[in-house]
Amino acid sequence: MPLPPDLAKPVFKLFPEMADRVMNSLCVMCDTSIVHGDFRDAISKKEYGISGLCQKCQDGVFGVSDQPEEPDWDA
């Protein structure tokens, strides 16, 4: 499972319902359950740790890249 977003971020103070979703392993945008295998690549997992968005919502916000993923040398 990717690391969840840092709940100390100011956005979670302004929108506590988003913090509740993160604590319950739900996407902050659509309330879908977060499942480790649903993320396309390491970048998507990292983005979840920043924004709390599931893969589907990330695709909606950022679009879907046609470029192959670069190797994750830190994994």
Tokens standing for 41?
């690549």
57-60 own/partner pairs: CB under 8 Å, 24+ apart:
57/27, 57/29, 57/30, 57/32
In a domain, 15, yes or no: yes
Instruction: Give the separation between CA 16 and CA 72, rounded to whole angstroms.
Output: 33
- Tens of pLDDT, residues 6-53: 888 888 889 999 889 988 999 999 999 998 789 999 999 999 988 999
Greatest Cα pair distance in the chain:
37
In a domain, 71, yes or no: no
Q: Are 56 and 26 in contact (CB under 8 A)?
A: no
In a domain, 73, yes or no: no
Residue 57 lies in domain: 10-62
In a domain, 5, yes or no: no
Q: pTM of this prediction? A: 0.75
pLDDT score, position 53: 94
How many domains are there within the chain?
Answer: 1
In a domain, 74, yes or no: no
In a domain, 3, yes or no: no
In a domain, 36, yes or no: yes
